[in-house]
Every structure is written in structure tokens, then in C-alpha cells.
């Protein structure tokens, strides 16, 4: 199979030509115009045609197009519903646009669900019932069970980052309080720490690492301060680990999966929390469920591109099954 993958991001579009083994034959990125889907997608069609030629193919030889999109989105109508980073894109019929221009079947899913499918098809836990957990600015999830994405009735399946861990917890970007993301999402965690440091004039290595400028605090500096043994950062990190254990415990207890694969923060700083989280996990999930689940960082280097390719493969398979 030859597949065209389109990964829509808030800052960049990533297009690629790949196959069912996850091999990428050609790829290209360009900036997203957040207010103008028409211009961005027209450019995407040009880039797609260039990549198809570069891969030695014709448009007719592309079996399917997969679009990986930020949520909330609608996979059936193939459009983004509302998203803070792509304001002008709401309700623009992205799937129809590509189908009309390229005349190939188009499948669209949210990016975390696509990443789950990419892990299932190409990752270190290939072929297992798994949950993929994105751990970057926010916390997203993709659940693959029996080889299928669990997207739910209106594409909200796998939104594990917004599981409430404590109703009295910190405010989340989604408007609820105490979500997993509010505790462990890179952006929310940095925001809360920044506000606390400024309000209470807390002396901490985190501030030294950003040259005294609180605006520059991110998860990177928080992790570096934890590594340096900074007391304030380590206190915050302890809560992070506890909430990770609680949330992963819920996933284990709910789904009894064969694997939980984690992205970004787990890839770069997994040693700072995965062993401690595993120690605390028996307080939140049955040992019999923990014992059968592989919990590990993702080994996929280009998960965005592979997600879009995986969405194309998944869509084609579901279509064949009818």
C-alpha cells in the first residue's frame, strides 16, 4: 500500500508518503496558517503532489490519505470542531477538500488516537492491546483494542488526560478541576509552578535555569531542577509521580491492557518517574493487571507522520471489513 499522511499541527503541517510497514519514502513540513485553512490546505495539495512524484508514484497509486488532526474533531464529517490553536479551522471540511482535489479516499482521526494506532502497527509494543499516552504540553490518549481505535461515539474516546483525579485539584485548560492533565501536562504544570514561584517568591533552581525569567519556565527546566535535587522542584515532582500512578492505575483497572506506551516526557525523562511510579502503582491497580502490562516509553521517532499513515491504514482496513 502507498499512503499519504497529513499531520495537522498548530504550528506545522507534516506531509509524508509511506507504506503499511511504516517506511517513509518522502516527507516535507511547512508552517500552518492558523487563521486560514484554505491557504494551508491548498499548499498541502501542492506539497502532496510534489512528494508523490518524489516517491516515484502517481496520485492514482496512492491507496488512501490519512489525516491526523488536533481535537475536538469529527471523524465522520472529517473536520476540526473547535481548537484554541487553529481558530479559523473550525467546521472547515478538511476531508472533503482533499478528496475533491486528490480524488483518493480520505480518513481522519484525532492525533492521539492516530498515535495509538501507529504504536499498534509500528511501535515497540506492536500488535498488543494498548493505550498510548501523549505526554507533552497536554496529556492525550489513544486506545487500541482488538486492533481497532476506540474513538467512542463522538470521537472523545481515549481522552484520558481529562480523567478527574481530584475534584479539589488545580484548574485544567478544559475548564474542569483536578484532571490528570492539570497535574501532569507540561503546560499546565509549568503554568502552576510559575504562578506559585512568582506569588510566593520561592527560591528554586528552576528560576536559575531560566535566567530569572519566570515566563521561560517549561517542563524542561522543571525536570532539570529535579535532576539537580532542588527541594521545591522535587516536592512538585513527588505529586507528579503520585498522580501518574493514580491515572495509570485507572487505565489498568479499566482496560486491563497489554501495554501502556508513553510519549515525549517519558522518552526524555522517563528515568525520573517511571521506576517510582511502578513502585506506587499497586496502591491504584491490582497486581494481576500490573503484571501483564508492559509500561514503557515510545521508541517511535516520527510519531506525527506515522500517526497520519496509521490512520490511512486503519481507515482502509475498516472499509474492507465493511
Tell me if 70 sits within 8 A of 8, measured CB to CB. Answer: yes
Smallest distance from the beta carbon of 110 to Zn ion, in angstroms? 15
282 DSSP β-pair partners = none
- Please choose, from the candidates 264, 317, 285, 320, the residue with its C-alpha nearest in 3D space to the C-alpha of residue 121: 317
From 123-131, 167-175, 189-197, 273-281, span contacting Zn ion (CB under 5 A):
167-175
Smallest distance from the beta carbon of 255 to Zn ion, in angstroms? 20
From 18-26, 78-86, 168-176, 241-249, span contacting Zn ion (CB under 5 A):
168-176
Q: Rounded to 5 degrees, what are φ and ψ at 16?
A: -150, 155
Residue of 17, 80, 102, 172 interacting with Zn ion (CB under 5 A) = 172
Alpha carbon of residue 193 to chain centroid: 23
From 42-50, 169-177, 219-227, 314-322, span contacting Zn ion (CB under 5 A):
169-177
Q: Taking the alpha carbons of 210, 216, 164, 286 in that order, is the dihedral positive or negative?
A: negative
Smallest distance from the beta carbon of 239 to Zn ion, in angstroms? 17
Residue of 44, 51, 143, 179 interacting with Zn ion (CB under 5 A) = 179
- Please choose, from the candidates 297, 313, 318, the residue with its C-alpha nearest in 3D space to the C-alpha of residue 135: 297
Query: Which residue lies nearer to Zn ion by CB, 105 or 169?
Result: 169
Count residues binding Zn ion (CB under 5 A).
5
The contact pattern for Zn ion, residues 249-288, with x = CB under 5 A and - = no contact, is: ----------------------------------------
162 binds Zn ion (CB under 5 A): yes
176 binds Zn ion (CB under 5 A): yes
135 binds Zn ion (CB under 5 A): no
DSSP conformation letters of 252-274: HHHH--SEEEE-HHHHHHGGGTH
CA distance between the termini of the chain: 19
Angstrom distances, CA of residue 275 to CA of 26, 28, 39, 139, 250: 38, 37, 47, 20, 18
Q: Taking the alpha carbons of 47, 50, 56, 62 in that order, is the dihedral positive or negative?
A: positive
What grid cell was written down for 90?
Answer: 473550525
174 binds Zn ion (CB under 5 A): yes
Query: Which residue lies nearer to Zn ion by CB, 168 or 287?
Result: 168
247 binds Zn ion (CB under 5 A): no
From 98-106, 148-156, 157-165, 231-239, span contacting Zn ion (CB under 5 A):
157-165
What does the binding site for Zn ion look like in residue numbers (CB under 5 A)? 162, 172, 174, 176, 179
Amino acid at each position: 500500500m502507498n499512503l499519504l499522511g497529513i499531520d495537522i499541527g498548530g504550528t506545522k503541517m507534516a506531509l509524508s508518503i509511506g507504506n503499511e510497514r511504516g517506511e517513509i519514502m518522502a516527507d516535507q513540513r511547512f508552517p500552518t496558517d492558523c487563521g486560514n485553512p484554505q491557504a494551508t490546505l491548498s499548499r498541502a495539495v501542492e506539497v502532496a503532489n510534489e512528494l508523490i512524484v518524489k516517491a516515484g508514484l502517481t496520485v492514482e497509486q496512492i491507496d488512501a490519505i490519512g489525516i491526523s488532526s488536533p481535537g475536538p474533531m469529527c471523524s465522520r464529517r472529517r473536520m476540526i470542531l473547535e481548537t484554541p490553536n487553529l481558530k479559523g479551522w473550525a467546521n472547515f471540511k478538511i476531508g472533503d477538500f482533499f478528496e475533491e482535489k486528490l480524488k483518493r479516499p480520505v480518513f481522519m482521526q484525532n492525533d492521539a488516537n492516530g498515535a495509538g494506532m501507529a504504536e499498534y502497527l509500528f511501535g515497540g509494543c506492536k500488535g498488543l492491546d494498548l493505550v498510548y499516552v501523549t505526554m507533552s504540553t497536554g496529556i492525550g490518549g489513544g486506545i487500541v483494542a482488538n486492533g481497532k481505535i476506540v474513538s467512542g461515539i463522538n470521537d472523545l474516546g481515549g481522552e484520558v488526560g481529562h480523567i478527574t483525579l481530584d475534584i479539589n485539584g488545580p484548574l485544567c485548560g478544559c475548564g474542569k478541576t483536578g484532571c490528570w492533565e492539570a497535574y501532569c501536562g507540561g503546560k499546565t504544570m509549568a503554568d502552576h509552578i510559575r504562578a506559585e514561584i512568582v506569588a510566593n517568591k520561592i527560591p528554586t533552581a528552576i528560576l536559575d535555569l531560566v535566567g530569572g525569567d519566570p515566563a521561560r519556565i517549561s517542563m524542561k527546566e522543571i525536570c532539570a531542577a529535579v535532576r539537580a535535587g532542588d527541594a521545591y522542584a522535587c516536592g512538585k515532582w513527588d505529586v507528579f509521580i503520585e498522580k501518574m500512578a493514580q491515572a495509570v492505575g485507572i487505565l489498568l483497572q479499566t482496560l486491563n491492557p497489554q501495554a501502556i506506551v508513553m510519549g515525549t516526557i517519558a522518552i526524555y525523562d522517563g528515568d525520573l518517574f517511571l521506576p517510582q511510579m511502578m513502585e506506587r502503582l499497586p496502591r491504584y491497580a491490582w497486581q494481576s493487571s500490573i503484571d501483564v502490562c508492559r509500561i514503557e516509553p515510545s521508541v517511535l521517532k516520527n510519531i506525527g507522520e506515522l500517526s497520519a499513515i496509521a490512520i490511512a491504514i486503519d481507515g482502509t482496513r475498516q472499509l474492507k471489513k465493511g
